[in-house]
Amino acid sequence: MIGSGRALLVVLHGCAQSYGDLESYGNWVDTSEDYGTVISLPGVAGGGVYFGCWDYYGSSHSRGSGDAADLLAHVDALLADPTLDIDPNQVYIAGLSSGGGMAMVMGCLAPDVFAGVGIAAGPTVGTSAFQTASVSTSLATAQATCETLAGSHADDFATQHMAAISGTNDYTVAQGYTQLNADVFAALYADAAGLPSLSSSPLVVEDLPGFNPAGVGTVYEDELGPRALRISATGMGHAWPAGSGSGPEIGFVATQGVDFARVLVEMLTAGNRRVVGGGLSEGGTGGESSDGGDDLGTTGSSSDGGDDLGTTGGSSDGGDEFGTTGGSSDGGDELGTGGSSGGGGSEDGAGEDPPCEPWVDVVVATITGHFPRFSSYPGGYGVADMTYVALFGLYGMYTAFPLYQAADGDWYHDPANVPGCE
């Protein structure tokens, strides 16, 4: 790894696509393990707008409201969990379609938070829901919108990276947005570096990671190296490029072609200028944990030595699965943080009639409303008996649930775990 911890890649699903589709078909595990990267696939709040879309629309976005506030709060909570060991200088965001548009919004709104942005078939910042079929903004307008959103954080464009991709068979979102998105960030990066423009050269798509990748592309560079990539993937439709093997596109995921997640992580690991070991420094490219236990490059650590509380999915040892790539829809044990479990609740008794009432306070709120009650415990960041990762897996962002305060001030998810309850 580079820097002082693991990288975090937040990946946003597209309209009419769920985080479960990305989890099932997105080809995350090898990249996550090879580069020690935490990958989180959150679901959009309340089913999203229109057809499950992220609200990237228009130019009025704020760190304190809407999807942007939720995503920043989600990142903050993951950063606060010591079991994940995430380096705040290695936080990246990517997405497909409306998720790609939202990733661009977040890269503009919070360049200090997101050191890298990946946009797959995403419309350009400032556009509306009815401007997807054709390019409906200009470089100058989009650049100005992005700079306005960044405000006092615009200087952080000097160390941000980005990549954009779309397929030649994508007729859902205009392919021209991919070129425009790359041009917008290239212009922002050039301005931040005091340059008239970044240089550009052809990208050999066939040399990229994936399964038979093909297409054309461009690399945008400053004097220190690559800053942005643009890829037009031959034959790909409106889909997240997983590059995992042969087969048709399924759930808006393309198995054949470029492995975009790996392209992003490789570029950002090699080029990150916010950390020691990134950019032009030497210092390794990631890998496994050195603590002699389980491979913690992607799975995190358990609070009790048994449950796998990682961020790429589930455990392989038969324990409960609390990965942050998504939740189960069958009511089973797989409780990812991308959304809420279909099981309707925890198996540990939370929400049922407790055997006694030793607590001094009970508060019902969503996970964001509970942030003031979270803290760091030996098992990780969250409450005394459950981590934030596991709670997010159970309830997602918008399902309210109770927390119980013990006499010593600690908060608990399961009332049966409050000291004094026997």
**Which residues are tagged catalytic?**
97
Q: Which two tokens stand for residue 301?
A: 């650590």
- DSSP string covering 57-75, please? -SS---TTSHHHHHHHHHH
- What are the distances in angstroms from CA 210 to CA 124, 168, 261, 409? 26, 17, 10, 51
Of 56, 65, 186, 75, give the one whose Cα is nearest residue 122. 56
Max distance between CA atoms of the chain, in angstroms, equals 70
CB atoms within 10 A of CB 287: 13
CB 37 within 8 A of CB 50: no
Q: Based on C-alpha coordinates, what's the Rg of the chain? A: 21
The Cα 94–Cα 103 span in angstroms is 5
Query: 290: which residues sit within 8 A by CB, 6+ positions away?
Result: none
The Cα 30–Cα 35 span in angstroms is 8
Share in percent of the chain as helix, strand, coil (round to 5): 25, 20, 50
